[in-house]
Amino acid sequence: MAQTGYVDIPAGTDEAFLKVLKMGDRFQFGKIVRNDTLLSVRRKTGISARSKFAELSALWAGLSEAEKTAWATAGGYSNQKGWNLFVQDTCARMKNDLPGVATPAIEHQAFVGQIKLSGGASEIKLIQTHPHTYWVSKKVTGKKGMYEPKVVIENFGLPLQIGLSYKGELEETGTGSFAIFYADVLRSYQGKEETSRLAISLDYSDVWKIDTATLVTGRGILLGYNLFFHLYNVQGSLYFDNIKAIHNATNWARDKNCVNIETTFTKAFSQIPKHWAPVTLPDGAEYDSVYI
């Protein structure tokens, strides 16, 4: 393959050049690849044949106004329009060979997070860090499927509200068992660092619930906070969605809709922290996003 360090596009040919070629990796490797924006009739036919939108449109048209309203209401909890949530949810059903259309719910939408303990594992602890400054993956406006690293400055201030929707399918395996979702708020008071814990105890029962907790005041200078899931002396599964970490009128929770809670960022995005990183993860403990 030919390698070049510089390409000089002759005047007047730049438009034709960009119709057939484009930049490859935007961050690390200077290379030119084929531009697939313009498709041949054959490729268009193949893509149309594989597309699910005709089937999705027919299913959506067959819903009653009450059912469409229910999708819009559920979408509001995950910051989506009803149609967008319907497409995401129904595509997930098709991928998992599940028939029909789901019944929308306000407690969870499409993908949810799952923490699972089995075998010899009876404890797991996950953390989502929230320092003052960190990187996230941000969608590029106007560019389909394109993302870029972006610095976030999170100026933390009380009150802090945490919350989630969840369903437990857990059984106690030893004394002192618990399942909690919490925030540790870091403060500096009289030259010493202190921690205040804001926690939500999670029931082991198999009914979806919505719960929140709020920390209003605290002494000293606020330094930041971290979110945690901690399950101890239990086995089974915990499902969760719609994570909240609200302060200054903004929900700062990353991947709050639990689309991919276990994702690891690489290459030019490697400076971005995992949405949820393991603190304690023995053999038999796992976590990921699933469709249920």
Which amino acid type is present at position 228? F
Domain extent listing, the chain: 52-106, 113-291
Write the class of the CATH domain 113-291. mainly beta
6 confidence band (pLDDT: 50, 70, 90)? low
Predicted TM-score (pTM) above 0.85:
no
pLDDT band (50, 70, 90) for residue 163:
very high
| pLDDT mean across residues, the chain | 89
SS3 146: coil
What pLDDT does residue 27 have?
Answer: 64
Of the candidates 238, 257, 229, 245, the residue with the CA atom closest to the CA atom of residue 111: 257
Closest CA to 123 of 229, 202, 233, 201: 233
Please write the tens of the pLDDT for every residue from 238-273: 999 999 999 999 999 999 999 999 999 988 899 999
CA distance linking residue 253 with residue 162, whole number of Å: 9
